[in-house]
Structure 1
Amino acid sequence: MSDLLRVLLRFATVVAGYAAACLAASLFLYVLFLGWSGLAQEQELSTFNAGMVVAVPIFALFIAHLNFWPAAVAIVVGEFLGRRDWLFYAIAGGVVAAAFAGLFYGGAGQADGSEDTAILLAMIGSGLVGGLAYWLVAGMWTPDWRGRNRDRLPPTSPESSGS
């Protein structure tokens, strides 16, 4: 496989991973909203399935648009460092969500900050979920685009210490 094709395939995988991360973060926020608002307890959950099919992808578009630059920085850092572990991408997703909250939310809310904390934690939680979704699609099974460790699968358990 030529180097150009390898880079293009990796780029397509990164885009698919970003799309999966945005969908997962959107779904996480949707489920949190259902639980927080109490709507899920008042009506049947089947009524929310149709709304979820429409609301989650539309909200994922907003997430993808508003988080693009912080996520692009995290993706580039992960690619050039060759990171393939789930913890890096989960933490990076949380940092991206915190950066979004700092840039766009800005702490405009109640004076006591109780509502701010819940919203900030929901955003960071959705970033963690999005980072894990990105890792599942683009970080775990794909080889390094520079060609290192091409035939190696990700570790499933720690190696023995030799003692």
Structure 2
Amino acid sequence: MSDILRLLVRMFAIALGFFAGCLAAGLAYAFLARLVVPEDFGRFSELELTVTLVIGVFGVANLFARAVLLPAFAIIAIFEFWRRRDWLSHALAGGGIALAASSLQMTTTMNSAAAATAEPSWLIAVHVACGIIGASIYWLFTGRNAGRWLPSERANATDIADIEN
């Protein structure tokens, strides 16, 4: 496979992992910020609750994706070229990006119903937890193979295979 094709496949995998991480962060936020509470499961019909949950999770995931897109892709590029494959660095980076985004959001406006009723420290903790969850899902999908598409990484793998034979 050519190097350009490997790069395109890797970029697609990164986009898919980022999308899955944002969905996971949105789902975690829906429950941690108490947008959906367990009492809702008995009060609403199944269809209404499912539609509300799906649209809510996609909406919150969209907000997360818009808030952290550029910093996250900068960190992803750094991790790719430095070949950072460990879970902890991805989780800490996700938490740090979420902390920066939530503190910026807290200084500008309080825009959600949950933000109006909760205290800021709780919301910052929820955002950081969602960032860690999203980054962990990204690592699970894509981050474990960071930098393996680079030519030097592939050359080292073939050299080791040649030595073993």
Output the CA distance in 2 between the equivalents of 1:42 and 1:59. Answer: 18
Q: Answer with 44-53 or 63-72: which moved more.
A: 44-53
Output the CA distance in 2 between the equivalents of 1:81 and 1:94. Answer: 19
Output the CA distance in 1 between the equivalents of 2:155 and 2:107. Answer: 43
The alpha-carbon deviation at position 102 of structure 1 amounts to 2.6
Structure 1 residue ranges, 4+ long, deviating more than 6 angstroms after superposition = none
Equivalent pair of 1:143/1:151 in contact (CA under 8 Å):
no
- 1:49-68 aligned within 5 A: 49-68=50-69
CA deviation digits over 1:61-116, x for unaligned, max 9?
1211111122122111111111111111111110110110132222867xxxx701
Aligned-residue CA RMSD (Å): 2.5
Structure 2 counterpart of 1:26: 26
Give the paired residue count. Answer: 146
The alpha-carbon deviation at position 31 of structure 1 amounts to 1.3
SS at match of 1:100: helix
Distance 1:7 1:132, change over 3 A: same
SS at match of 1:145: coil
The alpha-carbon deviation at position 39 of structure 1 amounts to 3.8
Q: Answer with 59-68 or 133-142: which moved more.
A: 133-142
Distance 1:117 1:146, change over 3 A: same
Output the CA distance in 2 between the equivalents of 1:127 and 1:61. Answer: 14
Structure 2 gaps, min length 5: 111-117, 158-165
Output the CA distance in 2 between the equivalents of 1:150 and 1:140. Answer: 19
Equivalent pair of 2:13/2:142 in contact (CA under 8 Å):
yes
Output the CA distance in 2 between the equivalents of 1:33 and 1:86. Answer: 25
Output the CA distance in 2 between the equivalents of 1:128 and 1:93. Answer: 5
**Scaled by the length of structure 2, what TM-score is found?**
0.77
Q: Percent identity?
A: 30
Equivalent pair of 1:94/1:128 in contact (CA under 8 Å):
yes
Going by fraction, where is helix more abundant, 1 or 2? 2
Structure 2 counterpart of 1:155: none
Equivalent pair of 2:26/2:130 in contact (CA under 8 Å):
yes
- 1:34-113 aligned within 5 A: 34=34, 39-41=37-39, 43-44=41-42, 46=46, 48-106=49-107
Identify which of 114, 117, 139 aligns with 2:121: 117
